[in-house]
Amino acid sequence: MNEKYKAKELIDHSMMGFLGIEILAEENGVVRARMPVNDRTSQPFGRLCGGASLALAEIIAGYGSFLYCEENQIPVGSSVSGNHISSVKKGENVYVHAYATCLHRGRNTHVWNVDIKSDEGRLVCTARVTNFVVRDIL
C-alpha cells in the first residue's frame, strides 16, 4: 500500500477532510467508509445532498484504486454516475456508510460499485465509478 495517500495532512487538506469522510476498512478490493450528514453535506432543506453522496463514492473508489497503484501512479476519476434511492435527514451523530467494491481492475482503468446506506442499513445511493490510472507527475 502506498502510505503517502493515507498521510493525515493530505486528507485533512482535501475534500475528503472537508466532508469528514473516514475510511473504516480496506481489504481485498473492498473499501468501507462513513460520512456525517451535517451542514457540510446537506442541502438547504436538511437532507443529504446527492452531490455529497457522489463525492463520497468517487473519493472512496479513488482511495481503493490508489491502493492498487504502483509508486509512480495515481488514480483520476473518469466517470461517476449514481441513483439516489432514499434520503437521510441531517443530525448530530448521523452518518451514511459507503461500501465500495472493485468490479474491474485493469492496467489503466478500475471500475467500482459503491453502495451508500443509512445508519439503519437502508440503501440511500448506488453509484458506479471509473478511474483512470496515470503517472503521478507531481
Q: Which residues are catalytic?
A: 58
Contact residues for 120 (Cβ-Cβ < 8 A; gap 6+):
none
Cβ contact 82:127 at 8 Å:
yes
3-state secondary structure of 98: strand
DSSP string, 65-94: HHHHS-TTEEEEEEEEEEEE----B--TT-
Q: Do 126 and 87 contact (CB within 8 A), yes or no?
A: no
Query: And the C-alpha cell for 24?
Result: 473504516
Is 14:6 a contact under the CB 8 Å cutoff? no
Residue keyed to cell 442499513 = 121
